[in-house]
């Protein structure tokens, strides 16, 4: 991606994620953004052929969605992740540009016997059969923060059984990616299919299927739900459609695909004009240099290598272990679309808050990646 924006993500490692979950993400949201303003920014952002096709097939002022039973017309708001809003220029300088854009929680795997992370960040080693690829998981969760999200995952009850307030709560969570979520009963670029369990696909012109998408975990709403959160491609164990597949197998390495990039492109990110090939070694080096310079004025990649080699005894370890709990809580509250319960900690217990964040992510995270 070529956008000149800074995306701020806090990452934590935990022993307490739910069984079979290796990672989860809570993106920061710019909730209930004016659709007309979003559409204008999307117009200004057009570069690729997909951009022009996608924009041409969207209405300029309102849009419609179909849930399980009914169609809801003349919608004028949608919710973007903070990072997606930055890519479109909806967030520039100011307070909102400095807050966290996402919170990612990774499983330490300490509670699993004979399973470990594969930390092959430059893709130079073979993945062991009993290992899980850390880079694949991290890239996946970052993808959610960038905007690979769906309002389908917020459904709690079928729309025809829901109260007006419950349906409104679903509607305000519609995302830019949802605009390209189509089904056989919504073959129209202005009507998105956001029903749980519906046979749905990614399409930028409202008719042609580019790829199938997951249909939800809410089997209590529809027995056609495939068991994977809707903010993913359709699961294919042996031939994943991209980094946004909903599950990762032991020993499996997944790359960013052209399909992943097409999806991010049409929601407002700009694709690099270079080939899709990713030089992981160069990316790792550049990441170390940037991080080293943030830690020390003359810091470089060697400083980060020192941290990796010396662990918690190094200066870099102290600098990298800064507690961001309050920033994460502030991010959740500012996003407005998350339902955050009582603090339960009396306002003083960071350890308690950390556990509450873990519990909250386990319940409210739209975007878990499972282990299979």
- The residues spanned by each domain of the chain are 9-278+323-371
Question: What confidence tens digit (pLDDT) does each residue in 85-142 have?
Answer: 999 999 886 656 678 999 998 888 888 888 889 988 888 777 788 888 999 999 999 9
Mean pLDDT along residues 329-334: 85
DSSP 20: T
pLDDT of residue 350: 41
**DSSP per residue, 23-92:** EEEEE-EEEEEEHHHHHHHHHHT--SHHHHHHHHTS-SS-EEEE-SS-EEEEE-EEEEEHHHHHHHTSS-
pTM of the model: 0.88
CA distances from 342 to 14, 90, 338, 339, 347 (A): 22, 31, 13, 10, 10
Question: What confidence tens digit (pLDDT) does each residue in 174-217 have?
Answer: 999 999 999 877 766 578 999 999 889 999 998 889 999 999 88
Q: What is the dihedral of CA 253, 254, 256, 258, to 10 degrees?
A: 130
The answer, yes or no, to whether residue 162 has pLDDT greater than 60, is: yes
How far apart CA 204 and CA 66 sit, in angstroms, is 17
């Amino acid at each position: 991606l070529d956008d000149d924006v800074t995306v701020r993500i806090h990452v934590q490692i935990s022993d307490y994620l739910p069984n079979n979950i290796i990672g989860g993400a809570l993106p920061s949201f710019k909730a209930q953004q004016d659709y007309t303003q979003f559409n204008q920014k999307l117009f200004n952002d057009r570069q690729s052929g997909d951009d022009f096709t996608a924009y041409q097939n969207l209405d300029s002022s309102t849009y419609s969605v179909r849930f399980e039973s009914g169609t809801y017309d003349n919608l004028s708001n949608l919710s973007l992740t903070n990072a997606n809003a930055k890519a479109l220029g909806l967030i520039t300088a100011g307070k909102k540009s400095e807050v966290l854009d996402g919170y990612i929680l990774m499983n330490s795997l300490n509670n699993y016997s004979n399973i470990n992370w594969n930390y092959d960040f430059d893709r130079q080693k073979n993945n062991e059969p009993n290992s899980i690829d850390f880079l694949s998981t991290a890239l996946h969760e970052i993808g959610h923060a960038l905007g690979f999200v769906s309002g389908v995952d917020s459904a709690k009850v079928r729309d025809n059984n829901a109260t007006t307030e419950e349906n409104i709560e679903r509607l305000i969570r519609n995302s830019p990616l949802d605009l390209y979520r189509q089904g056989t009963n919504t073959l129209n670029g202005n009507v998105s299919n956001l029903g749980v369990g519906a046979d749905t696909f990614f399409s930028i012109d409202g008719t042609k299927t580019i790829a199938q998408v997951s249909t939800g975990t809410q089997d209590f709403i529809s027995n056609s739900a495939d068991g994977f959160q809707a903010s993913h491609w359709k699961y294919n164990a042996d031939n994943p459609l991209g980094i946004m597949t909903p599950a990762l197998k032991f020993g499996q390495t997944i790359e960013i695909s052209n399909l992943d990039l097409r999806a991010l492109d049409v929601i407002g990110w700009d694709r690099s004009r270079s080939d899709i090939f990713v030089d992981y070694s160069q990316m790792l080096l550049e990441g170390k240099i940037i991080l080293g310079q943030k830690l020390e004025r003359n810091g470089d990649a060697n400083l980060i290598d020192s941290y990796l080699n010396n662990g918690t005894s190094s200066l870099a370890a102290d600098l990298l272990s800064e507690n961001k709990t309050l920033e994460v809580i502030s991010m959740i509250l500012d996003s407005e679309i998350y339902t955050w319960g009582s603090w339960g900690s009396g306002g003083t217990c960071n350890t308690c808050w950390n556990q509450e964040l873990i519990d909250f992510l386990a319940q409210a995270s739209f975007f878990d990646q499972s282990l299979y």
